[in-house]
């Protein structure tokens, strides 16, 4: 698996993101191997990771890594910048994007879902993670590319950061479509997205005031209830002077009624509704990384140690996605992870393992060549 990360590229990043004196007892690569092993195998503590790495000491040489002590690993997690793994995330993302399958819609525009997820922390243990008077938290802000469901945009903030504040900082490509929930409601941002030639799809708040400029007929059999052109009125009118499209949709399964807002007037109303429905993929992304990777319990208490663990976790997610895309596997990421957990140090081909092929027997001639006469 580690062959997918060029060692020379990693060392270049490690030198760029180094702080203080040269490391003597361990390297950043050994840190990455140890914490990556902890993510993939579900280890829950530094002692647990160190014990499992030591158990594989004879196999670490071929990985270019070495055994680590608990104190050394804790010190490097706390002192060496987490930005190394943020930069590695960018490298892995670029590779994944070149192999990722397209989204399932007919239009060619890039499609992104935008959302944030809060990870609760104990304020007494993590005093830097201020959220509320008695609670601590950090927040993961993610822009999920629907081509391969990759976290193309990601940042980590304290729990107080508002979703739309981070959303405004994203630099989305022109003609792309971004979908988000009502937590990102901001008329000024709507206008800014439209000025930057970016389409958005969101839900309208129930207390919004507007004037209907035009009504279009809809096919009610498909669940659509309305398709209108509106303009915001009231105190927010000056913030969003552009015309918006308002689409009503009733879910045939649950009977719940939804009202969507968008600045895209070309796509069919049913497509707009399906675009918002696809936003559920980012909820599944957060659910997956919280259930399958270690980002809810942390190995260190400093901010740098926490961010190091989070960025290595998403690097492991991209590594699994890259393996899936490279080999065109039909298995889910969870199935791939579960299979790898029991075979991380097995000496067999990765592709054969993931495709369920039986292990190839060793050539007896190669064995006899290693024997001394």
Query: Within a domain: residue 365?
Result: no
Query: Within a domain: residue 297?
Result: no
Residue 358 has pLDDT above 80, yes or no: no
- In this structure, the answer to whether residues 15 and 80 fall within a common structural domain is yes
Positive or negative torsion for Cα 24, 85, 53, 62: negative
Q: Which of 41, 125, 56 is nearest to 294 (CA)?
A: 41
- In this structure, the answer to whether residues 66 and 200 fall within a common structural domain is no
Angle at 200 between CA 196 and CA 206, to 5 degrees: 130
Residue 7 has pLDDT above 90, yes or no: yes
Residue 193 has pLDDT above 80, yes or no: yes
Residues 6+ apart with CB under 8 A from 306: 121, 126, 129, 138, 298, 300
Residues 6+ apart with CB under 8 A from 76: 23, 26, 28, 31
- Residue 289 binned pLDDT confidence (cut-offs 50, 70, 90): very high
Q: Kind of pairing, strands 111-121 and 136-145?
A: antiparallel
Query: Within a domain: residue 270?
Result: yes
Domain limits for position 249: 181-278
Q: What percent of the chain has pLDDT over 70?
A: 96
- 57-66, 237-246, 263-272, 321-330 — which is least confidently predicted? 57-66
- Strand runs labelled E in 233-341: 244-250, 257-262
**How confident is the model over 1-17, as a mean pLDDT?**
93
- In this structure, the answer to whether residues 273 and 186 fall within a common structural domain is yes
Q: Which of 5, 41, 35 is nearest to 346 (CA)?
A: 41
Query: Within a domain: residue 361?
Result: no
User: Which pair of structure tokens corresponds to residue 365?
Assistant: 């001639």
Residue 356 has pLDDT above 80, yes or no: no
How far is residue 189's CA from residue 318's CA, in Å, rounded to a whole number?
Answer: 30
- In this structure, the answer to whether residues 284 and 267 fall within a common structural domain is no
Q: How many CB atoms lie within 10 A of CB 328?
A: 8
Query: Within a domain: residue 360?
Result: no
Query: Within a domain: residue 211?
Result: yes
Residue with tokens 């190995």: 299
- In this structure, the answer to whether residues 147 and 17 fall within a common structural domain is no
How far is residue 202's CA from residue 29's CA, in Å, rounded to a whole number?
Answer: 42
Write phi, then psi, for 126 (nearest 5 degrees).
Answer: -120, 70
**How confident is the model over 243-260, as a mean pLDDT?**
94
Q: Kind of pairing, strands 111-121 and 177-179?
A: parallel
Q: How many domains is the chain partitioned into structurally?
A: 3
In the sheet that holds 224-232, the strands lie side by side as: 150-158, 136-145, 111-121, 177-179, 199-203, 257-262, 244-250, 224-232, 210-215
pLDDT of residue 59: 87
Residue 372 has pLDDT above 50, yes or no: no
Per-residue pLDDT of 143-189, as tens digits, reads 999 999 999 999 999 999 999 999 999 999 999 999 999 999 999 99
How far is residue 321's CA from residue 337's CA, in Å, rounded to a whole number?
Answer: 10
- In this structure, the answer to whether residues 151 and 288 fall within a common structural domain is yes
Round the CA-based radius of gyration of the chain to a whole number and report it. Answer: 24
- Residue 360 binned pLDDT confidence (cut-offs 50, 70, 90): low
- In this structure, the answer to whether residues 234 and 320 fall within a common structural domain is no
Angle at 297 between CA 4 and CA 148, to 5 degrees: 40
Last residue of a domain, one of 240, 259, 292: 292
Provide the 3-class DSSP secondary structure of residue 331.
coil
Query: Within a domain: residue 362?
Result: no
Residues in a beta bridge with 203? 260
Residue 373 has pLDDT above 50, yes or no: no
Q: Which of 129, 150, 147, 146 is nearest to 138 (CA)?
A: 129
- In this structure, the answer to whether residues 223 and 308 fall within a common structural domain is no
Per-residue pLDDT of 63-96, as tens digits, reads 889 999 999 999 999 999 999 999 999 999 999 9
- In this structure, the answer to whether residues 288 and 272 fall within a common structural domain is no
- Residue 31 binned pLDDT confidence (cut-offs 50, 70, 90): very high
- In this structure, the answer to whether residues 191 and 158 fall within a common structural domain is no
Q: What is the DSSP string of 201-222?
A: EEEPPTT--EEEEEE----GGG
How many angstroms separate the most distant Cα atoms in the chain?
93
- In this structure, the answer to whether residues 284 and 274 fall within a common structural domain is no
Tell me the pLDDT of the chain averaged across its residues. 91
Q: How many CB atoms lie within 10 A of CB 358?
A: 7
- In this structure, the answer to whether residues 193 and 156 fall within a common structural domain is no
Per-residue pLDDT of 195-243, as tens digits, reads 999 999 999 999 999 999 999 999 888 899 999 999 999 888 999 999 9
Q: What percent of the chain has pLDDT over 90?
A: 77
- Strand runs labelled E in 10-168: 111-121, 136-145, 150-158
Q: How many CB atoms lie within 10 A of CB 312?
A: 26
Query: Within a domain: residue 145?
Result: yes
C-alpha distance from residue 371 to each of 14, 348, 367, 368 (Å): 40, 22, 7, 5
């Amino acid at each position: 698996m580690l062959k997918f990360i060029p060692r020379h590229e990693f060392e270049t990043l490690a030198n760029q993101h180094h702080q203080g004196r040269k490391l003597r007892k361990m390297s950043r690569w050994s840190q990455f191997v140890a914490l990556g092993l902890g993510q993939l195998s579900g280890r829950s503590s530094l002692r647990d990771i160190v014990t499992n790495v030591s158990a594989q000491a004879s196999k670490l040489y071929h990985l270019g890594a070495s055994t680590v002590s608990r104190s050394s690993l804790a010190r490097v997690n706390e002192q060496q910048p987490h930005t190394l793994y943020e930069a590695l995330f960018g490298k892995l993302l670029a590779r994944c994007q070149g192999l990722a399958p397209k989204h399932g819609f007919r239009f060619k525009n890039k499609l992104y879902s935008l959302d944030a997820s809060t990870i609760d922390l104990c304020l007494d243990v993590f005093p830097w993670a201020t959220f509320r008077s008695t609670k601590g938290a950090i927040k993961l802000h993610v822009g999920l590319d629907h081509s391969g469901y990759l976290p193309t945009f990601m940042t980590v903030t304290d729990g107080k950061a508002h979703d739309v504040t981070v959303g405004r900082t994203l630099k989305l490509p022109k003609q792309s479509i971004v979908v988000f929930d009502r937590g990102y409601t901001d008329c000024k941002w709507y206008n800014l997205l439209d000025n930057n030639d970016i389409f958005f799809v969101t839900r309208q708040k129930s207390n919004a005031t507007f004037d209907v400029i035009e009504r279009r007929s809809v096919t009610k059999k498909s669940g659509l209830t309305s398709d209108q052109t509106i303009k915001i009125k009231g105190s927010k009118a000056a913030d969003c002077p552009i015309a918006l499209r308002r689409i009503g949709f009733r879910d045939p399964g649950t009977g719940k009624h939804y009202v969507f807002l968008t600045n895209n007037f070309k796509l069919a109303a049913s497509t707009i509704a399906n675009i918002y429905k696809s936003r559920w993929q980012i909820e599944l992304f957060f659910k997956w990384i919280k259930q399958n990777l270690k980002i809810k319990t942390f190995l260190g208490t400093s901010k740098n140690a926490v961010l190091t663990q989070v960025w290595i976790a998403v690097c492991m997610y991209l590594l699994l996605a890259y393996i899936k895309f490279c080999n065109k596997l039909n298995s889910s990421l969870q199935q791939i992870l579960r299979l790898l957990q029991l075979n991380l140090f097995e000496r067999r081909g990765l592709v054969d393992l993931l495709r369920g092929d039986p292990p190839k027997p060793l050539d007896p001639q190669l064995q006899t060549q290693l024997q001394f006469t």
